Chain A
Amino acid sequence: MATAHERTIERFKKRTVWFHWINTVAFVTLLVTGMFLFLPGLGIVAQDSITRVIHRVAAVIFVLGPIVYFFTNPKMSLHFIKETLTWGKDDFQWMKAAPDYHFSGDENKMPPQGHVNTGQKMWQGVVIGTFILFVATGTVMWFFKGEVSSGVFQWCLVIHDLAFIAGFAMLLVHIYLGAIHPRMERIFSFHAGWEDIRTLCQGPLRQMVR
């Protein structure tokens, strides 16, 4: 509930939120169907190629999403990349202060942050980096199997796996810090209502500002 000193601001455009969730669905689908070929115990689910077909359909959405978004919102997309790559002394101070803050230390020790904080920037970096790795190696394994040498194919697979491990581990961190961490007071605050869940799904589209 907003008090007299708080107001809500729009942090992301509605289309950006849509893009975020379409991309999420595609990525999680890729993650789950990919896992069947990664963890030996789960391999049996992938038999008869069905999950591999789903993986390919999701891959198309995963690649087309950012391309469509980029060409319909070039300014915002370039800003996203610039924002991710621009680092200053506040970012390094954030990294110093972050562990204590996330163990519920003093909030006032945190340096000032821009539209996204340093941690979010790092996550954006992981998203961009793993996206490039996934798409490059995935393209080779999908369209050039049999044409590239077995060594090239298998190293592509290794890189694809590494991107998967990094992407999955960091996705868990993203979900944890965005929705579960006690400071967020959202899902696990025990008095979360539909309003909180809607706010969460919006990215957060609006955020309380003091």
Chain B
Amino acid sequence: MAKAILFDATKCTACRGCQVACKQWNELKAEETTNRGTCENPPDLSPDTWLKIKFAEVSKNGNGAIDWLFTRRSCMHCTEAACVTVCPSGALSHHKLGYVDYNKDKCTGCGYCVEACPFKVPKTDGGNLTGIRKASKCLFCRDRVTNGLQPACVTTCPTAALQFDERNKLVTLGRDRVEKIRSTYPKANLYGEKELDGLHVMYVLPYSPEVHGLPVDPKVQTATEARDLLKWVGVGAVAAVVAVAGLNFLVARARMIQASKERGES
């Protein structure tokens, strides 16, 4: 049975306990950052930050009132996961519980997942010159969830903005919540129910996804899909060349032997 996390943006207070819990459980370093004139910190996901709360301000009804939006940013654990498609070593894979598993030992450092992810989630450490690097991203607290525990971020959420359960149950819960808040937020929606064949992290959003900094209709890029096909084009092309050359060799050799016999040579 697929598991999922449901994040309700209308309940989030941006206490960022989840950010800290994530670092604590996964033993990730704190990052030294500089004041950028916003309470949002750190500025983006990184090899040491697998989860953060993104801040946005949106005009409420055009009379100067604003809504301060807090949106969770971490791996969305897609069903149609571009990162899994491009990963050449199988470091990224689908777990039977639904989430996108990641085995850092297998990582080649190619960074293709960084480019392919529609949510720009995986981050690599190390420089471009040597290319020696490893990708990092949320692991869905696999050591916890496969042992009957909730992900670390969920355990710490004081307002139940984060919930962990069977995906089916959370879809129902999310839909109900969207219905409930529609009177206040007419554009409320459940993000991730259908996107990319269903995400294993779903969001209850009061505004349309782009207001929250999320792609409206996330897609696996054409180039990602093209490259996936190319593998077989390559194998086919090489196999065809080998087959034609092999056939040519046999026919040409036989004809040459025959010709030399006809000339009366031994």
A residues contacting B by CB (< 8 A) are 36-40, 42-44, 46-49, 51-53, 56, 102-104, 142-143, 145-146, 150-151, 153-155, 157-158, 161-162, 164-166, 168-169, 172-173, 176, 180-183, 188
Are the CB atoms of A154 and B131 closer together than 8 Å?
no
Are the CB atoms of A154 and B221 closer together than 8 Å?
yes
B105 within 8 A of A: yes
Q: Nearest chain B CB to A61's CB is how many angstroms away?
A: 16
Are the CB atoms of A162 and B252 closer together than 8 Å?
no
B249 within 8 A of A: yes
Interface residues on B, range: 35 or more
Residue on A nearest B230 in the bound complex, by CB: A161
Are the CB atoms of A48 and B131 closer together than 8 Å?
no
Looking at chain B's contact residues, is the secondary structure mostly helix, strand, loop, or mixed? helix
B residues contacting A by CB (< 8 A) are 87-91, 105-112, 114-116, 120, 128, 130-133, 221, 223-224, 226-227, 230-231, 233-235, 237-238, 240-242, 245, 248-249, 251-253, 255-256, 259
Q: In the complex, A155→B226 CA distance in Å?
A: 9
Are the CB atoms of B89 and A153 closer together than 8 Å?
no
Q: Which residues of A contact B91 (CB under 8 A)?
A: 47
Q: Nearest chain A CB to B82's CB is how many angstroms away?
A: 10
The answer to whether residues A157 and B88 also contact, given A142-B131, A145-B111, A169-B238 and a CB cut-off of 8 A, is: no
Q: In the complex, A47→B248 CA distance in Å?
A: 39
Q: Nearest chain A CB to B146's CB is how many angstroms away?
A: 23
Are the CB atoms of A104 and B256 closer together than 8 Å?
yes
Are the CB atoms of B108 and A155 closer together than 8 Å?
no
Q: Which residues of A contact B128 (CB under 8 A)?
A: 142-143, 145-146
Are the CB atoms of A181 and B252 closer together than 8 Å?
yes
Are the CB atoms of A172 and B249 closer together than 8 Å?
no
Are the CB atoms of B223 and A162 closer together than 8 Å?
no
Q: In the complex, A147→B227 CA distance in Å?
A: 21
Are the CB atoms of A172 and B88 closer together than 8 Å?
no
The answer to whether residues A43 and B223 also contact, given A145-B128, A154-B115 and a CB cut-off of 8 A, is: no
> Can you report 25 residue pairs joining A to B where beta carbons are below 8 Å apart?
A37-B112, A39-B88, A39-B231, A43-B88, A43-B90, A43-B108, A46-B88, A47-B106, A48-B107, A49-B108, A49-B133, A103-B255, A104-B255, A142-B128, A142-B131, A145-B115, A154-B221, A158-B227, A161-B230, A164-B234, A168-B238, A169-B240, A176-B249, A181-B249, A182-B253
Q: In the complex, A51→B89 CA distance in Å?
A: 12
The answer to whether residues A150 and B248 also contact, given A43-B88, A43-B108 and a CB cut-off of 8 A, is: no
Are the CB atoms of B107 and A154 closer together than 8 Å?
no
Q: In the complex, A172→B245 CA distance in Å?
A: 9
Q: Which residues of A contact B230 (CB under 8 A)?
A: 158, 161-162, 165
Q: Nearest chain A CB to B91's CB is how many angstroms away?
A: 8
Q: Nearest chain A CB to B56's CB is how many angstroms away?
A: 22
Q: In the complex, A39→B89 CA distance in Å?
A: 9
The answer to whether residues A182 and B256 also contact, given A40-B88, A52-B131, A53-B132 and a CB cut-off of 8 A, is: yes
The answer to whether residues A37 and B116 also contact, given A43-B108, A165-B234 and a CB cut-off of 8 A, is: no
Q: In the complex, A103→B248 CA distance in Å?
A: 6
